[in-house]
Structure 1
Amino acid sequence: MQYFVAVAEERNFTRAAERLHVAQPGVSAQIRRLERELGQELLDRSGRAVRLTEVGAVVLPYARAALAAVDGARAAVDELTGLLHGHVAVGTVTSHHVDLPGLLAEFHDAHPAVDITLSEATSDALMEDLRTGRLDAAIVSVGAGAPPGLEFIVVDDQPVVAAVGPDHELAVHEVVSLDTLRGRPLISLPHGTGLRARLDEACAAAGFTPQIAFEASKPEVLAQLAVRGLGAAILPGAYAESLAGQLRTVRIDPPALRGRLVFAWRADGPRSPASRALLDRARAMLHAAP
């Protein structure tokens, strides 16, 4: 079942074998054995990417639950004997000011037997991985509402602004309406990121689609494009203000755009003692932060 879940998630036998640190033929053989026991094929191997069959899609949640039950039994024994083992998976967006390395280092010092993995992706991808159980916690960007299926601690809440070079036509303004950006070349993070979602939501409500001239995954690249006069960069307010010597910060209002950075986890709570311990430590650190 562990091999089946790995192949289903990786959609590739070779990557699944690398993830499990076993030989690829062994993975194939064990899944064939599981299929014989169940009397049905679980995986469609006909394409370049391995896909779940209809039966496989039904079996996958049960396989995950079975593995979680085994981990839970081991964890229960460890808790009774004063030990903490297991694995925690954490995700994060590219740019933020949270001391995530410090949090993970403190957790590792307190629980050296727990394996920790860290991955980086867009907010949309990270939130989906939280809901499906591939991640235990993640730092993501969200809007005003609560993302379905998740709980979180707000770690940052600031305006979303337009940042322009000193020669840009908007540089003479301290504040402009969102409609002022209609038809103007904008520089933005790609789809799936929190800032882009806030921009797209606001523009859709105003009845237009933003004209995105340039996309980049890092705010510093957006800023440099704006410095060179290629458009107005949509950036977090604090970051834009830090570049006051190069860029002019123009507030957007109405409507006032805001972005929140949060430390999030599944609403039904972490499954393992290790992930619960990480969440407890994160809560303590974030609530204590100034």
Structure 2
Amino acid sequence: MDVRALRYFVEVVRQQSFTRAAEQLYVTQPTISKMLRQLEDELGCTLLIREGRKLHLTDTGQAVYQRGLTILQEFKQLEAEISDINELKTGELRLGIPPMVGMQIAGSISAFRQRYPGVKLKISEFGGLTVQQAVLSGSLDIAMTALPVADDLPLNSLALMSHPLCVLVPRTEQWLRRSHLPISELAGLPILIYNEEFSLNRQLMRAFQASGFTPQIAVRSGQWDFLAAMVQAGMGGGILPEPICQRLDKSQLLSLPGHARPAIPLFLFLNQQRFQQVEVVQQFLHGFVADLLRGAQMIQLAALGTQAAEAEATFEVLGIQCALQIFLAVHAAAQVTHHARTDLFQQLRVDILFRIRRQALFHLVQALDRRAGHHRARHLYFAAVNGFINPFHPAQQQRQHHDADQQ
């Protein structure tokens, strides 16, 4: 069946006129008439009956029209996917990241460049508020931030993980006997933190306020290595994510956790109204998200002993096949109706459940929960099993966490 004939037939039914359909399709009326006759000959039935200026669908015509709408929509999506794949030969991916995660994604960026050398990868390091506005304006395609996305913004976000914060101090006699440093004890210490446009700054200000004091800010910077150097020079204490503190010179610096230390979440988000290169982003995220999740969870996975290798593979399937596929499906369905999107996620849910070894996954989640209370692993698992429509909406996230805790 010629898809053009089907497209012409559907447009004639929509317009209720051969003339108007020809105008919409930029073809001549005889061309449309010829294609419809060929379609009827191929199907061996009459699809349209003319009564004066009115057009009536036969029963077969009604069935072909309804099915044709679906086929044309699928064909349109196929054309878009093929276009995205072809875009990988060239094109550009603009990524915005906070400075604190640059070291963690270097491997993913390198792998992407090796696989797609023709794609120009442009990386910008900004604070959370800046990259969010950049994605909204279209100057960035994809970004990471510690700032949750507001409900009224046309952004779809994926909560990846969270990092605890530590107080970074010089390795001097004053601090060597301390095993922790609660945030309430920072009232008299000069503080070195990120600039105001960083979402981490907003979270820390709230934590200081909750502890009942106004911090003494000595230095602000957008570069974590500069903040660490200032701490080493004796300017005060820095507050940085734990992964950064672990990479610093431990002979010169000391990182101290607190009793109730705040954690910085990491969100990955896209602008659903400007999302174009699905395949480019998908290929990048397959390595990007996997590295982030695996890097943060390997300690717990290794604790499973002889099952560590299988557990790691299972967790990667969980993280990539569940979280990433649902995330990308949000964008694939961004322009369709609510019912169509619901159907898409139900199909995706079945696909996930078939491919993920459900029982092995459940045992992994149980093991992680017993050892470290990994609500993130449980959250992803139950999101896959229960098939939530949009697990990245804040309200849905709360619902998932609640349901996961109840099970």
Match of 1:250 among 241, 256, 262: 256
Alignment match, 1:105: 113
Are residues 186 and 271 of structure 1, via their aligned partners in 2, closer, same or farther at CA, if it must alter by over 3 Å?
Answer: same
1:124 paired to 2:138: no
Counterpart check, 1:227 vs 2:232? yes
- Cα deviation, 1:54-103, whole Å, max 9, x if unaligned, reads xxxxxxxxxxxxxxxxxxx9x95893697326543222222321135325
Q: Distance in 2 between matches of 1:153 and 1:82?
A: 23
Q: Offset of 1:264 from its aligned partner?
A: 2.2
Closer/same/farther in 2, CA of residues 81 and 220 from structure 1, 3 Å limit = closer
Cα distance, 1:80–1:104 mapped onto 2, change above 3 Å: closer
1:178 aligned onto 2:183: yes
Kept after mapping to 2: 8 A contact 1:186/1:213 = yes
The structure with the larger Rg is 2
1:141 to 1:77, Cα distance in 2 relative to 1, 3 A:
closer
8 Å CA contact retained: 2:100, 2:244:
no
- 1:199-218 Cα deviation digits (max 9, x unpaired): 11211333333211112222
Q: Higher strand fraction: Structure 1 or Structure 2?
A: 1
Distance 1:133 1:157, change over 3 A: same
Deviation at 1:147, TM superposition (A): 4.8
Shift of 1:233: 1.0
| Paired AA for residue 105 in structure 2 | V
Structure 2 unaligned segments of length 5 or more: list them.
Answer: 1-75, 295-407
Q: What is the count of residue pairs matched by the alignment?
A: 208
User: Structure 1 residues 155 and 81 mapped into 2: Cα distance closer, same or farther (>3 Å)?
Assistant: closer
**Alignment match of 2:94 (pick from 89, 93, 100):** 89
> TM-score by structure 1 length?
0.61
- Residue 269 of structure 1: how far off its partner (Å): 6.2
Shift in Å, 1:248: 1.7
Distance 2:159 2:84 in 1: 35
Q: Is the 8 A contact 1:107 1:281 kept in 2?
A: no
Structure 1, unpaired ranges of 5+: 1-72
Which residue of structure 2 aligns with residue 61 of structure 1? none
Change (3 A) 1:76 1:176: same
Contact 2:170 2:254 in 1 (8 A): yes
Question: Offset at 1:238?
Answer: 2.6
Query: Which secondary structure does the structure 2 equivalent of 1:252 belong to?
Result: coil
Contact (CA 8 Å) 1:168, 1:229: kept in 2 or not? no
Could you say which structure has the higher helix fraction?
A: 2
- Report the equivalent of 1:140: 145
Using the size of structure 2 for normalisation, the TM-score is: 0.45
Q: Distance in 2 between matches of 1:170 and 1:226?
A: 13
Q: Distance in 2 between matches of 1:262 and 1:98?
A: 14
Instruction: State the superposition RMSD in angstroms.
Output: 3.1
> 1:164–1:171: 8 Å Cα contact kept in structure 2?
no
Match of 2:280 among 278, 281, 286: 278
Counterpart of 2:156? 151
SS at match of 1:95: helix
Counterparts of 1:166-205 in structure 2, within 5 Å, are 166-167=171-172, 169-205=174-210
CA distance in 2, matches of 1:217, 1:151: 26
Identity of aligned residues (%): 18
Question: Structure 1 residue 107: deviation in Å?
Answer: 6.0
Equivalent-residue separation in structure 2 for 1:173 and 1:155 (angstroms): 32
Q: Is the 8 A contact 2:81 2:279 kept in 1?
A: no
Residue aligning to 2:297: none
> What do residues 112-161 of structure 1 show as CA deviations (whole Å, max 9, x unaligned)?
3x55433222221001111232211013233xx55543333445522111
- 1:151/1:80 Cα in 2 relative to 1: closer, same or farther (>3 Å)? closer
